[in-house]
């Protein structure tokens, strides 16, 4: 009688929140797959469901709680992890059937909870057979990958509880980061998105220790990391895009701009300014050197004219006056940022901002948010209109099916566009040979407030 080999246990995953949480989800699933688990694309096929939560804002917490409730209703066997894991009592009070609750980036605890809930052992006949390396699980498309360089944050911003959720800054070894990046590029990644809570502070906690990489010593420092990432090449000899996120404008950031001008780094910086009015920045417990920032933006653009600056701003912070808000609008006129996200201030349990006087009424927040969006859309529209007629490199995210005339459309992004958060480039009549992940020259023929439209040059 032939031995019947049982099917592996299956794990489902719901991943919420920021790209850093997405990287956590990838690492958890990679570990589980190495332990013999398979992945389930739906609730019905899963032996256990993981919900990786976000706890940054109350609205994000509610979304996480809704996701937990849906997973329990659809499957019943749920393990909760992520930033809301520090509120285990709240989660268990609302969902007593949850199997386990663990905190952010507690990979071992999550894996242990899965082993306990759905043991992976397939029996002695199978476990004794060496398993092939399953590779890492990716939750992003093959052509771009998030590269997390550190956990936690040393800042004490009044509106934020990230240090409470994820702890103080803990930098990864630079040789480990570079090894991961090299492996990703060799496997087909054409765009690396460097993420952390504070990319500029990388290595501060380990005093910028040196590690051996290849035939040289490299410091655990943002500038050394950027320089080394700029040396990576794909198997066909191409330079991958390297995009820096969550960059605080410390003085040493100036050193990466020439790397962008040389084509070694993607000319893009994601800088969380949050506001411009000195009084608001002081209340937020953030640096208030907005005038010097404007000078540096001008200097960066002189070195690398194509650099794109993305940022986000909070309106309605406690104590924000109409004069403060107008200061922000005037500052944006000067800064001419390429991409801007806006947020209405939202109290977060545990944040010191909740105790500040001068709460801004919701109606005023909404009115200021609308004015912020109107201002930044106008700036974006003008900056994009200036690109009409130019030919820009574009990475392809999606290729459509031929229409009734045989024409094929595609969607991509310029170097000024990070995935999921910025704009897109829409292409018409692309070659049939075009594939997702290709980086091609695109001639821009039209633009709106957020997106570009064009065709592959020479096609």
Q: Give the annotated binding-site residues.
A: 18, 54, 83, 153, 157, 160
- Res. 124: pLDDT tops 60: no
Gyration radius of the chain's alpha carbons: 24
Half-sphere exposure of 318 (CA within 13 A, CB side): 17
Which of 31-35, 112-116, 122-126, 225-229 shows the lowest mean pLDDT across its residues?
A: 122-126
Listed residue (439, 379, 431) closest to 413, CA to CA: 439
Determine whether 210 is exposed, middle or buried from the number of CB atoms within 10 Å of its CB (0-12, 13-18, 19+): middle
Query: Residue 275: its pLDDT value, please?
Result: 93
121 Cβ contact partners less than 8 Å away, ≥ 6 residues apart: 36, 127
Query: Residue 366: its pLDDT value, please?
Result: 96
Is the pTM here over 0.85, yes or no? no
Q: Give the annotated binding-site residues for [4Fe-4S] cluster.
A: 18, 54, 83, 153, 157, 160
Looking at the DSSP bridge assignments, the partners of residue 212 are 217
**Domains delineated in the chain:** 10-127 (3.40.50.12160), 144-385 (3.80.30.20), 391-456 (2.40.50.140)
45 Cβ contact partners less than 8 Å away, ≥ 6 residues apart: 10, 12
Residue with tokens 């200036």: 386
Query: Residue 3: its pLDDT value, please?
Result: 39
Query: Residue 289: its pLDDT value, please?
Result: 62
Query: Residue 54: its pLDDT value, please?
Result: 86
Listed residue (339, 342, 293) closest to 313, CA to CA: 342
The vertex-97 CA angle with 93 and 100, nearest 5°, equals 90
Q: How confident is the model over 116-139, as a mean pLDDT?
A: 53
Query: Residue 121: its pLDDT value, please?
Result: 53
Query: Residue 28: its pLDDT value, please?
Result: 85
Half-sphere exposure of 190 (CA within 13 A, CB side): 21
Residue 363 pLDDT class (50, 70, 90 cuts): very high
399 sits in which H/E element: strand 391-399
- Res. 137: pLDDT tops 70: no
């Amino acid at each position: 009688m032939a031995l019947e080999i049982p099917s592996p246990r299956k794990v489902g995953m719901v991943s919420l929140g920021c790209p850093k949480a997405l990287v956590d989800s990838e690492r958890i699933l990679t570990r589980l797959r190495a332990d013999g688990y398979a992945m389930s694309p739906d609730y019905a096929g899963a032996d256990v469901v993981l919900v990786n939560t976000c706890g940054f804002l109350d609205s994000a917490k509610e979304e996480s709680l809704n996701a937990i409730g849906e997973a329990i209703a659809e499957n019943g066997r749920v393990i909760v992890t992520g930033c809301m894991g520090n509120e285990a009592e709240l989660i268990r009070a609302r969902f007593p059937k949850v199997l386990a609750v663990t905190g952010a980036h507690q990979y071992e605890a999550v894996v242990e909870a899965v082993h306990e809930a759905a043991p992976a052992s397939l029996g002695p006949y199978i476990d004794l057979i060496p398993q092939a390396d399953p590779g890492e699980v990716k939750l992003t498309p093959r052509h771009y990958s998030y590269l997390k360089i550190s956990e936690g944050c040393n800042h004490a911003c009044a509106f934020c509880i990230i240090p409470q959720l994820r702890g103080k800054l803990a930098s990864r070894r630079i040789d480990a980061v570079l090894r991961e990046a090299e492996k990703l590029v060799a496997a087909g990644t054409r765009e690396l998105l460097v993420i952390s809570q504070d990319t500029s502070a990388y290595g501060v906690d380990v005093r910028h220790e040196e590690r051996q990489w290849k035939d040289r010593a490299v410091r655990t420092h943002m500038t050394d990391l950027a320089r080394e990432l700029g040396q990576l090449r794909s198997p066909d000899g191409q330079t991958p895009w390297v995009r820096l996120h969550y960059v605080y404008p410390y003085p040493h950031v100036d050193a990466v701009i020439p790397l962008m001008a040389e084509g070694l780094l993607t000319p893009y910086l994601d800088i969380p300014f949050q506001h411009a009015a000195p009084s608001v920045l002081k209340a937020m417990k953030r640096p208030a050197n907005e005038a010097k920032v404007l000078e540096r933006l001008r200097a960066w653009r002189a070195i690398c004219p194509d650099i794109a600056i993305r940022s986000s701003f909070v309106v309605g912070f406690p104590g924000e006056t109409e004069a403060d808000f107008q200061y922000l609008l005037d500052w944006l006129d000067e800064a001419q940022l390429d991409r801007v996200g806006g947020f209405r201030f939202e109290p977060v349990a545990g944040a010191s901002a909740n105790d500040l006087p001068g709460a801004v009424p919701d109606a005023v927040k909404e009115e200021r948010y609308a004015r912020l969006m109107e201002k930044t859309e106008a700036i974006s529209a003008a900056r994009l209109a200036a690109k009409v007629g130019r030919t820009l490199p574009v990475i392809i995210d999606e290729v459509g099916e031929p229409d009734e005339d045989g024409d094929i459309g595609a969607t991509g992004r310029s170097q000024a566009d990070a995935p999921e958060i910025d704009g897109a480039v829409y292409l018409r009549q692309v070659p049939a040979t075009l594939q997702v992940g290709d980086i091609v020259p695109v001639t821009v023929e039209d633009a709106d407030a957020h997106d570009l439209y064009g065709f592959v040059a020479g096609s």
